[in-house]
């Protein structure tokens, strides 16, 4: 648990705090006198990006979170002479500079900034390598191989990597068919890197997806020691292929995920 308080002072140096993924972070800012304020607001800004409104708290009303931050991880609370922002659990994507604003009828005062840095224990990184075999009657140089990830709750998978043609390796297959092996390596840090990973081939005006591999983290188990229950959180990686080695053939292209 990290709690940081920043006073509302113009042109002051930012405060830097750090936290590990999965922890709780609470940032607070206070003003000398906020009794006449109409609204109190939180903002987040990343390098080379415009500030984003995290949420706001109007007088005598409940806090309202902006669409991008409408998650149960973010919570705004009113405190004495100020406002707080709690993030739990914190993730790598939460890195950035946070500051709050106090809005009156004709003015807006801003607090000093807090820079939130997410630190990662390198010993906790879990490397994983996904392998995709592409069998095709088309030359490997004419194929475009991509990797996608679909996180839990996402409607569509997002593209995360595109292979250059030179990154493939030849594998043994009949002389009538071209066979190339593609690998994608990634360090799994937290739940933001889990989900279902797919390799896909773009050829002949179509994109053909492989079967996918599900990557999951964490198991929680509890044991009884004397009169106390102790719960242990395991950072364990679970990978399972979906419909393992089911070959797809369309437009002269066949794809399957060989193994993980």
Note the pLDDT of residue 225: 42
Tokens of residue 26, six digits: 């609470």
Between 189 and 238, residue with greater pLDDT: 189
Note the pLDDT of residue 213: 80
118-147 pLDDT, tens digit per residue, is 886 655 667 778 778 777 666 656 677 888
Q: Identical fold at 2-118 and 123-256?
A: yes
Note the pLDDT of residue 103: 87
Is a pLDDT exceeding 90 seen at residue 25?
A: yes
Q: How confident is residue 24, by pLDDT bands cut at 50, 70 and 90? A: very high
Architecture of domain 2-118 in this structure: Sandwich (2.60)
Is a pLDDT exceeding 90 seen at residue 116?
A: yes
Question: How distant, in Å, are the alpha carbons of 11, 40, 81, 86, 168 from that of 60?
Answer: 30, 11, 14, 20, 61
Note the pLDDT of residue 84: 93
Question: How distant, in Å, are the alpha carbons of 155, 158, 192, 214 from that of 243?
Answer: 20, 21, 24, 11
- Range 123-256 classified under CATH 3.30.310: no
Q: Is the distance from CB of 17 to CB of 2 less than 8 angstroms?
A: yes
84-94 pLDDT, tens digit per residue, is 999 999 988 89
N- to C-terminal Cα separation, the chain: 36
Q: Is the distance from CB of 123 to CB of 68 less than 8 angstroms?
A: no
Where do the domains of the chain lie?
A: 2-118, 123-256
39-66 pLDDT, tens digit per residue, is 889 999 988 789 999 999 888 889 999 9
- What whole-number distance in Å separates Cα of residue 189 and Cα of residue 198? 19
């Amino acid at each position: 648990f990290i709690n940081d308080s920043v006073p509302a002072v113009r042109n002051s140096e930012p405060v830097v705090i750090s936290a590990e993924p999965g922890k709780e972070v609470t940032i607070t800012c206070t003003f000398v006198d906020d009794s006449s304020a109409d609204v109190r607001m939180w903002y987040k800004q990343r390098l080379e990006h415009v500030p984003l409104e995290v949420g706001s708290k109007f007088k005598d009303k409940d806090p309202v979170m902006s669409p991008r931050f409408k998650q149960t991880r973010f919570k705004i609370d009113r405190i004495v002479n100020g406002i707080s922002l709690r993030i739990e659990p914190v993730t790598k994507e939460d890195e950035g500079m946070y500051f709050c604003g106090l809005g009156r009828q004709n003015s807006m005062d801003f607090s000093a900034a807090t820079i939130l840095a997410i630190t990662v224990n390198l010993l906790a990184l879990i490397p994983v390598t996904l392998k995709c075999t592409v069998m095709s009657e088309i030359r490997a140089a004419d194929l475009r191989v991509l990797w996608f990830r679909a996180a839990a709750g996402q409607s569509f998978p997002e593209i995360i990597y595109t292979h250059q043609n030179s990154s493939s390796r030849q594998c043994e297959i009949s002389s009538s068919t071209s066979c190339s092996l593609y690998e994608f390596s990634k360090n799994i840090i937290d739940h933001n890197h889990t989900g279902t990973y797919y390799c896909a081939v773009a050829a002949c005006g179509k994109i053909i997806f492989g079967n996918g591999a599900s990557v999951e983290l964490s198991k929680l188990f509890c044991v009884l020691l004397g009169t106390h229950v102790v719960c242990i959180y395991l950072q364990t990686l679970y990978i399972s292929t979906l419909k393992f080695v089911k070959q797809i053939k369309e437009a002269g292209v066949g794809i399957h995920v060989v193994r993980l």
